[in-house]
Amino acid sequence: MNKTQISVEESQDKREKLNKFSYFEPILGTTLAVTCTVIFGWFSEIITWSYYGTANNNIEEGVIRLVPTFNKDVISSMIILIILWGLLRIAVDAFYLFERCYTKRLAIVSIAGNSMTFIASCLILIPSRIVHDEYVLHVHTAFQGGMAWFGEILARPNIIILVLLLGILLFESFFATSKGWKSNKEKNEDEEAISNSQVDPYTL
């Protein structure tokens, strides 16, 4: 092994160390996926909208009323899809753990996995009936007049969640892709340097 090969291998080791990520990231992702799947799939009733009784909403003044945000019956009918969503996220995070550093393969898996995650999320969240009717009614009651526009936004929590999720998935895919392609480019340059090293530069 000549000095050029040794130098290239040192560069490869350095590149792998720079592109490695903490195990904490995929483990945290898996934990969040399991938590969201369990809460949304089986305990969605804990996601509530609370409001005080007033003369306008026919509830005794001072009384706090809790209204479920999502329709549990609709969610229960989609439980298989919700479980598949969780398993998909776990599979992507598991591949992160398997690769241990940003690579071209990881970028491809990240893009594919995040695309399927978003499609599954749309199938779960876009149907308007997933939002509880009573929740929509009382949000519109709470925000009237000049704040009616804000009530229209809050009345669509499913779309809010979907937009936030899209932002997270796009960021994750972009980051994994940029790091993975950069790593792959540097790897190809190192391999080309080895194959073209006919003369030991240290002897010149």
Q: Where are the domains of the chain?
A: 3-196
Query: Is residue 37 a contact partner of residue 86, using CB atoms and an 8 Å limit?
Result: yes
Over 80: is that where the pLDDT of 102 sits? yes
Query: Is residue 23 a contact partner of residue 97, using CB atoms and an 8 Å limit?
Result: yes
Q: Phi then psi for 67, rounded to 5 degrees?
A: -120, 130
Of 132, 134, 163, 138, nearest to 151 (Cα)?
138
Q: How much is the pLDDT for 14?
A: 62
Query: Is residue 162 a contact partner of residue 119, using CB atoms and an 8 Å limit?
Result: no
Over 60: is that where the pLDDT of 97 sits? yes
pTM over 0.85: no
d(CA 119, CA 147): 32
d(CA 142, CA 145): 10
Radius of gyration of the chain from its Cα atoms, rounded to whole angstroms: 25
Q: How much is the pLDDT for 204?
A: 45
CA angle 121/124/128 to nearest 5° reads 120
Altogether, the residues listed in the chain come to a count of: 204
d(CA 79, CA 96): 26
Read off the pLDDT of residues 45-64 as tens digits, 9 standing for 90 and up: 888 877 655 545 555 555 56
Over 90: is that where the pLDDT of 12 sits? no
CA 18 to chain centre: 23
Over 90: is that where the pLDDT of 123 sits? yes
Over 80: is that where the pLDDT of 107 sits? yes
Average pLDDT over residues 175-188: 80
Query: Is residue 124 a contact partner of residue 130, using CB atoms and an 8 Å limit?
Result: yes
d(CA 75, CA 61): 32
Per the DSSP assignment, residues forming a β-bridge with 133 are none
Higher pLDDT, 96 or 19: 96
pLDDT cut 70: percent of the chain above it: 73
